[in-house]
Amino acid sequence: MKCGKTPLSFRGIAWCNLKRRPFRTVCLISLVAVLACVLFGGSAIIGSVVSGTDGLSKRLGADILILPSGYDKTIEGILLRGEPSTFFMEREWAEKIYEVEGVIAASPQLMVASFNASCCSIPAQIIGIEQDTDFIVEPWIRTSLPGRLSDGDIVVGGAVSGKPGGRLNFFGREYRIAAKMENTGTGFDGSIFMDMDSARRAARDRSEMTGDPPPPGGAISSVAVLTDGRFTPNAMADRIYSRFGYGKSGIAVVPAKEIIGNVSGGLRTLAGFVTAFAAVLWLLCVLALSVVFSVMTNERKREFGILRSLGITRKKLASLVVLESAAISAAGGLTGIFLSALLILPFRVYIKTTISMPYMHMPPAQMLAAAAGSLAVSFAAGMLASLCSSARICARETYGVIREGDA
Amino acid sequence: MIIEALCLKKKYFRDENSFMAVDGASLSVGEGEFVCVTGRSGSGKTTLLNMLAGLLPPDSGSVTFEGREYGGMNDDELSELRNTRLGYIMQGPGVLANFTVTQNVILPHVISGREGDPTDRAMSLLEQTGIRGLAAQYPSSLSGGELRRVAVARALLMSPKLLIADEPTGDLDEETTRGIMDLFSSIAKEGTAILMVTHDAETARRCDRRYDMKAGRITSPGAHLG
Ligand SMILES: Nc1ncnc2c1ncn2[C@@H]1O[C@H](COP(=O)(O)OP(=O)(O)O)[C@@H](O)[C@H]1O
Ligand SMILES: [Mg+2]
């Protein structure tokens, strides 16, 4: 809209007041924009990380994981950061654990890491599952794959490139992508799932290539355990340890919550810190804007006096001020969110590695909600700040009386 | 009678002390009359005009405009009256810097919220006030006399019954003053009553009647001149 033209509307008065004072307007907009930028940036990053770990704890339906001792950090890397590993333990552990009182399900997995070489399409974590006992990935693969996984079929995580029907090579063998899962924001997104027998063959293929010792016959890497809930995961871990002998058994019993808990504990601190920072910033912003609006209102006394002398009511004059600050707040909020998105999206990868949470994940709907929330909160800051000024216009006679001294 | 003020009083506070800026002033302006108020700076003229325009509530006394008493009117009613029945030309520069000359002139119409495009009427008023050529300019490029003419044109937009002007020639040279006074005379002849404040006795001679103000009081009873 262009200023300087007639006819002029009431809204046009507000618009031209903003447009004809570009420096003042830009300064005010910037102030709100900074607020919105921080609010949206903060909520987007924290939201992604939180929903990433939420996804993980939902996906990992196990109470306890049994691993070869010393591999508890390795499993964290696989689940949280998608760092592929290969390790083995004996098949018997699945049955042994199943016999412990309180265990209602125990299912083995086999972990094989593919690598970045001509033999393999991509470096990825291959996870073999026992389809008869599995309760972790099975129900979740079910949603994308109706039947059973037959030999040579794989299900790929959401971040793996390739479509259903496509092919991927691992250790010189070709596999058919039977299904692709949704992104979950966990290490599973970069994983390849196959049947236990196929995975054992892949492990043998791998050791032939690397020269590593071949896996013992019927090897597994981990056992996922579901308990009946009579004992806490920690108590269950103690029972398993005491049954098989601390230290001597060669296994690590890790309550699943501990893996996720490590992350979410740190997250909670981070989220709290960012929230506190945002709150302080919000208050500062409201204060600064209040001062600016108040100074501005004082400076515009004569302008308001002229409008009053021309017959504008107090209410309408206040609504003019509200209209102007609403435009500033909205423009500032939108600019800030836009800038924030511009900063976050290209640097997503960098941010992920910096906070060592590669599996950040925020569904678009949630992203939109964060944007709308940040916009609302920064808009509210601008409006709140102008409230005092407009209330003063409504209440006092100052803005009607023009004296020589006022210029 | 268009406007009638009875015994208006207004007290102001300066530091700890109070003083009467307007102290029992009464005056009236009839249909089509050109009335002047003279007085030295600080005698309370502006305060009086602000009360007459309903911008400032008096401590006591009453103002009646076309038979309606301000005391019984709310802000909406008083604003409407200022918008349509009473043109007010304030002391000093009274033009909004963010709007062109034409936009400034049509502001009362915009404020009224009425339908229609007042641009043609604004143009003919700019013609009448002799600044038609400046219609598209912003106020920053106008001289003091030109700005005053914009304010006059704007005050006349809604065809008010009364024009109140606070020292409209106060800061102008003789030549320009004469031009503005000629304009006022012609407006008065066309039937719009004028109440004008000036501290210049020479200028006041062009009025039909004249009140004198001193320390908040009207000292001469609005005698007819000439
Ligand atoms: N809002 C105010 N508060 C305090 N004193 C005021 C105020 N407005 C005007 N005055 C004082 O009241 C007196 C009359 O002012 P004013 O009506 O502007 O006089 P004039 O227009 O005749 O020069 C002056 O002494 C002025 O300083
Ligand atoms: Mg004065």
Task: Compute φ and ψ for A78, nearest 5 degrees.
Answer: -65, -50
Query: What is the pLDDT at residue A361?
Result: 64
pLDDT at A7: 87
3-state secondary structure of B147: helix
Residue B140 reports pLDDT greater than 80:
yes
Spatial separation of the C-alpha atoms in residues B89 and B57, rounded to whole Å: 19
More confident residue, B15 or A16: A16
Question: A300 to chain B, minimum CA–CA distance in Å?
Answer: 10
**Token pair of B126, please?**
């700019």
pLDDT (0 to 100) of residue A144: 65
* A223/A371 same-domain check: no
Q: Is the shortest distance between the CB of B21 and ligand 1 below 6 Å? A: yes
Report ipTM (2 d.p.). 0.95
* Domain span holding position A362: 2-55+263-406
pLDDT of residue A334: 96
Domain count, chain A: 2
Q: How confident is the model at residue A263 (pLDDT cuts 50, 70, 90)?
A: low
* Residue B33: Cβ within 10 Å count: 21
Q: In this structure, which residues have their CB less than 5 angstroms from ion ligand 2?
A: B 46, 91
pLDDT of A405: 44
Residue A252 is assigned to a structural domain of this protein? no
Q: Is the predicted pLDDT of residue A310 greater than 90, yes or no? A: yes
Whether residue B144 lies within 8 A of chain A, CB to CB, comes out as no
A10/A114 same-domain check: no
Instruction: Tell me, yes or no, whether A185 and A87 share the same domain.
Output: yes
Q: What is the pLDDT of residues A348-363, one digit of tens each?
A: 666 655 555 545 666 7
- The pTM for the full model equals 0.73
Q: What is the pLDDT of residue A3?
A: 87
Per-residue pLDDT, A404: 44
Distance CA A184, CA A60 (A): 11
SS3 assignment, position A229: coil
Quick one: A40 and A94 in the same domain? no
Contact list in B for residue A13 (CB cut-off 8 A) is: 99, 107, 110
| Same domain assignment for residues A195 and A110 | yes
Is any ligand 1 atom within 6 A of the Cβ of residue B83? no
Q: What is the pLDDT of residue A135?
A: 83
Which residues 177-216 on chain B approach chain A with CB closer than 8 angstroms?
none
A174-195: pLDDT as tens digits: 999 998 887 766 788 889 999 9
Structural domain contains residue A293: yes
Which range among A144-153, A351-360, B21-30, B156-165 shows the weakest confidence by mean pLDDT?
A: A351-360
Residue A407 — very low, low, confident or very high, per pLDDT cuts 50/70/90? Answer: very low
Q: Mark whether A70 and A211 lie in a shared domain.
A: yes
**Ligand 1 pocket, residue B12 CB under 6 Å:** yes
pLDDT at residue A262 in the model: 63
Give the Cα separation of B120 and B118 in Å (integer). 6
Evaluate whether A185 touches A52 at the Cβ level (below 8 Å). yes
Tell me the two tokens of residue A69. Answer: 């001792």
User: Distance (Å, rounded) from C-alpha A340 to C-alpha A344?
Assistant: 6
> With 80 as the cut, is the pLDDT of residue A326 above it?
yes
**Residue A401 contacts B, CB cutoff 8 Å:** yes
Output the pLDDT for position A78. 85
Q: What mean pLDDT comes out for the span B18-46?
A: 94
Q: Where are the alpha helices (DSSP H) in A177-220?
A: 196-210
Which of the pair, A137 or A23, is modelled with greater confidence?
A23
For residue B169 and ligand 1, the question of a CB distance below 6 A is answered with: no
Six-digit token pair at A228? 């009946």
Q: What percent of chain B has pLDDT over 90?
A: 81
B99·A8 Cβ contact <8 A: yes
- How far apart are the C-alpha atoms of A133 and A330, rounded to whole Å? 55
Q: Give domain status of residue A236, yes or no.
A: no
- A273 and A349: one domain? yes
